[in-house]
Amino acid sequence: MSLSTTNNDVFENLRQELRRGCLSLAVLSQLRTERYGYTLRKALAAQGMDIDEGTLYPLLRRLETQGLLSSEWREEDKRNKRFYRLSPEGTQTLQQLVAEWKGIHASLEGIL
Amino acid sequence: MDLLDRYLQAVSFWLPKRQKDDIVAELSEDLRSQMEEKETSLGRKLTDSEVEGILKGCGSPLAVAARYLPQQSLIGPTLFPLYRFVLGVVLAGCVIPRCLIWLGFLIANPSHASYLHMENLWSTVVFFGFYTTLAFAIFERSGVQFVNLVDWNPRSLPPVRHPNRIPRANSLGEIAFGLIFIAWFAGLFYPQPVIDLYGVKITLAPVWSYFFYGFLLQASANFLLACVNLAKAYWTRQRATIRLLLDAAGGVLFSFVFRSHVLVSVNAASLTPEKSAALTTWLNTWMPSLFPWCIVVVLIIVAVDGYRIMRLGKYPMSPVLGVQVGA
Do the beta carbons of residue B146 and residue B139 sit within 8 Å?
yes
Q: What is the pTM of this model?
A: 0.59
- Rounded CA separation A107/B24 (Å): 42
Choose, out of A57, A69, A73, A80, the residue to mutate when testing the contact with B (most B CBs < 10 Å). Answer: A57
Spell out the residues 6+ positions from residue A85 whose beta carbon is closer than 8 angstroms to its own: A31, A32, A33, A34, A35, A69, A70, A71
CA distance A58 to chain B (A): 5
Which residue on chain A is closest to B64 by alpha carbon? Answer: A54
User: What is the residue range of A95's domain?
Assistant: 3-111
* pLDDT tens per residue, range A31-77: 999 999 999 999 999 998 988 888 899 999 999 999 999 999 998 88
Chain B residues whose C-beta sits inside 8 Å of any chain A C-beta: 23, 25-27, 29-34, 57-59, 63-64, 67-68
Closest CA to B264 of B201, B177, B176: B201
* pLDDT tens per residue, range B41-64: 999 988 989 999 999 988 899 989
Closest CA to B129 of B95, B165, B179: B95
- Chain B residues in contact with A73 (beta carbon < 8 A): 25
Count the domains in chain A: 1
Do the beta carbons of residue B225 and residue B239 sit within 8 Å?
yes
Q: What is the DSSP string of B186-204?
A: HHHS-SSSEEEETTEEEEE
ipTM for this model:
0.80
> How high is the pLDDT of residue B247?
95
Closest CA to A55 of A75, A36, A41: A41
| Edge-to-edge strands, sheet with B200-204 | B194-197, B200-204, B263-267
Closest CA to B325 of B203, B249, B267, B239: B239
Q: Under an 8 A CB cutoff, do B29 and A38 touch? A: yes
- Domain with residue A28: its CATH number is 1.10.10.10
* pLDDT tens per residue, range A83-96: 999 999 999 999 99
Closest CA to A89 of A28, A34, A4, A42: A28
Interface of A with B in 17-36 (CB under 8 A): 36
Largest Cα span, chain B: 116
Q: How far is C-alpha A102 from the geometric centre of its chain's CA atoms?
A: 17
What are B47's strand-pairing partners?
none
Q: What is the CA radius of gyration of chain B?
A: 35
Q: Is the pLDDT of residue A1 over 70?
A: no
CB contact A37 to B (< 8 Å): yes
HSE-up (13 A, CA, CB side) for residue B23: 30
**End-to-end Cα spacing for chain A:** 31
* pLDDT tens per residue, range B7-43: 999 999 999 888 889 999 999 999 999 999 999 999 9
Which of B23, B25, B33 minimises the CB distance to A80?
A: B25
Q: pLDDT category, A21, cuts 50, 70, 90? A: confident
- Chain B residues in contact with A37 (beta carbon < 8 A): 26, 29-30
- Chain A residues in contact with B72 (beta carbon < 8 A): none
- Rounded CA separation B145/B10 (Å): 39
- Rounded CA separation B258/B240 (Å): 28
> How high is the pLDDT of residue B319?
47
What are A75's strand-pairing partners?
A80
Write B178-186 long-range contacts (CB < 8 A, 24+): B178/B219, B178/B220, B178/B222, B178/B223, B178/B226, B179/B223, B181/B219, B182/B216, B182/B219, B182/B220, B182/B223, B185/B215, B185/B216, B185/B219, B186/B216
- Rounded CA separation B185/A96 (Å): 80
Closest CA to B11 of B26, B29, B25, B24: B24
Which of B25, B59, B68 minimises the CB distance to A61?
A: B68
Mean pLDDT per block of 10 residues along chain B (327 residues) reads 89 90 92 91 90 90 87 83 93 85 71 67 88 91 73 80 87 95 89 79 88 94 95 91 95 88 84 85 84 85 92 66 48
CB contact A82 to B (< 8 Å): yes
> How high is the pLDDT of residue B276?
85
How many Cβ contacts (< 8 angstroms) between chains A and B?
42
- Chain B residues in contact with A79 (beta carbon < 8 A): 29, 32
Buried b (16+ CB within 10 A) or exposed e, A30-40: bbeeebbbbeb
**Cα→Cα distances B225→B189, B241, B308, Å:** 23, 11, 15
> How high is the pLDDT of residue B141?
84
CA distance A93 to chain B (A): 22
Write B196-199 long-range contacts (CB < 8 A, 24+): B199/B268, B199/B269
Spell out the residues 6+ positions from residue B151 whose beta carbon is closer than 8 angstroms to its own: none
* Phi then psi dihedrals of residue B268, to 5 deg: -145, 155
What are B266's strand-pairing partners?
B202
Q: Under an 8 A CB cutoff, do A82 and B26 touch? A: yes
Spell out the residues 6+ positions from residue A12 whose beta carbon is closer than 8 angstroms to its own: none
